[in-house]
Structure 1
Amino acid sequence: MKKKTGGLEVLLLTSRDTGRWVIPKGWPMDGRTAYEVAAREAYEEAGVRGTVENEILGTYSYPKVLRNGLSVTCKVQVYALEVATIAKNFKEKGERKTEWISCDEAATRVHEPELREIFLLFKRRMAEQLAARMPKQIPAE
């Protein structure tokens, strides 16, 4: 996520094989927590670094076709990462398109219904957090 003047934006990127819009994701890694893997994949796939939450934002499933042609259902744990820096060079630069967009737009671009719901839930959560930080307005008399 990136807080842009005028609103919250999330980063989508394209899949290397199908070109559909996705979020960074990867396989579990020994010795690393799931949220650490999420942060690492975000850097490798999109060049972003920042503060990752250690609580799951949501989960979704999607079918993945492996190199041997076998199709497996993958379950993805989604973690929010507030972006602090964007690298000019990173592992998968040039292999994917990236775009910062609103949560509503992200929900229309992804194919997985559960991921759509995660974007909309995230938008509501961030709006609630922002409202909680705003000073209370005193009505004018």
Structure 2
Amino acid sequence: MRRKINKVLKQSGVIPYRERDGRIEILLITTRDLQDWVIPKGGIVNGMTPPASAAKEAWEEAGVIGEVDDNELGSYKYRKGGKVYRVKMYLLPVAKVSDYYPEADKRYRRWLDANHAIKLIKKDSLKRILKGFLQTKLTSCASSL
């Protein structure tokens, strides 16, 4: 019997962050059912680059705007509803936060110290990407002193 080959659906997402009082904070949002803390992500829109599509998701899901770094930070896979998704992750230094955005009534959002944010994320593969970002950021901050 032949095994069914699952198509991997492509998504992109961002780690929205800011520096405040010498600390790095990450913006997490809840899933629509308000059960888990996650980062903004979604399907890559036809005709858009993965970073541009991730910026669109950041606006729709979290109400944040900034210049997405085009360098892929990493990727992770997850399963949902019998489908497999691969999410390419990018950094988004947040320049503007709006109170009015498309999913404002569907999700909560919260700025958290980076280490606390990492503890709230459930997916280990996403935690690794966040930890890698934090290590790189701390190293670059220390070298600029």
**Helix, strand or coil at the partner of 1:16:** coil
Say yes or no: does 1:82 pair with 2:93: yes
1:87-129 per-position Cα deviation (integer Å, ceiling 9, x unaligned): 1200000211111112211221111101111111111111111
1:73, CA displacement in angstroms?
1.5
Contact 1:12 1:101 in 2 (8 A): yes
**Helix, strand or coil at the partner of 1:52:** coil
1:63, CA displacement in angstroms?
1.4
Any unmatched runs of 5+ in structure 2? 1-16
Please list, as runs of the form range in 1=range in 2, the aligned pairs for 1:1-141 lying within 5 A after superposition. Answer: 1-17=17-33, 19-65=35-81, 71-134=82-145
- Alignment TM-score, normalising by the size of structure 2: 0.85
Any unmatched runs of 5+ in structure 1? 66-70, 135-141
Q: Please say which structure displays the higher CA radius of gyration.
A: 1
Greater strand share, structure number: 2
For these two proteins, the number of residue pairs brought into alignment is: 129
1:15-54 per-position Cα deviation (integer Å, ceiling 9, x unaligned): 0036211100010111110000111100000000011100
Task: Read off the aligned partner of 2:99 and give its amino acid letter.
Answer: K
Contact 2:44 2:54 in 1 (8 A): no
